[in-house]
Amino acid sequence: MHYREVEGDREFVARLSHGEDWRGQIESFAADEGVESAFFFGLGAVSDAELFFYDQDRQEYESVTFPEPLEMAACVGNVSTLDGAPFAHTHAVLSRADGSTVAGHLNSATTFAGELYVRTFETDLVREHDATTDLDLWEL
């Protein structure tokens, strides 16, 4: 395990804009506020969600789209720097009208309504390529 102690810095609450991309709004917010590292939690409702699942054997993301209205039952993630820009690593649990759920790495979704809590850190978190997993992971 690699780790680093971090100090909490700023806290934000936000209402996401209707009709805009959920993850894209987090990345735009981070760029606007100069956020280089943070954790966030969110909830709300979306449509047209695209989730990624990482196939560990093939080391490739598989995309699944859900062209329907969904509740954002839980959204958790972090902000760090990838290729010099803010990257919102976002995971979501989305529920359907019948109560069934889908979950995974949220690539994109059109926001119907959303609320977000963000806590930033004074430490920069930068993602670098990890040869073992073929993923961009924190360089700690």
User: What tens-digit pLDDT sequence spans the chain (140 residues)?
Assistant: 878 788 888 999 999 999 999 999 999 999 999 999 999 999 999 999 999 999 999 999 999 999 999 999 999 999 999 999 999 999 999 999 999 999 999 999 999 999 999 999 988 888 889 899 998 887 88
Domain regions of the chain by residue span: 8-121
Handedness of CA 11, 17, 23, 25 (dihedral sign): negative
Contact 119, 132 (CB under 8 A): no
How is residue 30 annotated by DSSP? H
3-state secondary structure of 22: helix
Q: Return the pLDDT at 1.
A: 84
Instruction: Count other C-beta atoms under 10 Å from residue 68's C-beta.
Output: 13
CA distance 7 to 50: 33
d(CA 124, CA 46): 30
* pLDDT, position 110: 98
Residue 111 Cα distances to 79, 103, 133, angstroms: 19, 16, 31
Q: 35 with 26: CB under 8 angstroms?
A: no
Q: 0.85 cut: is pTM over it?
A: yes
In CATH, the architecture of 8-121 is 2-Layer Sandwich (3.30)
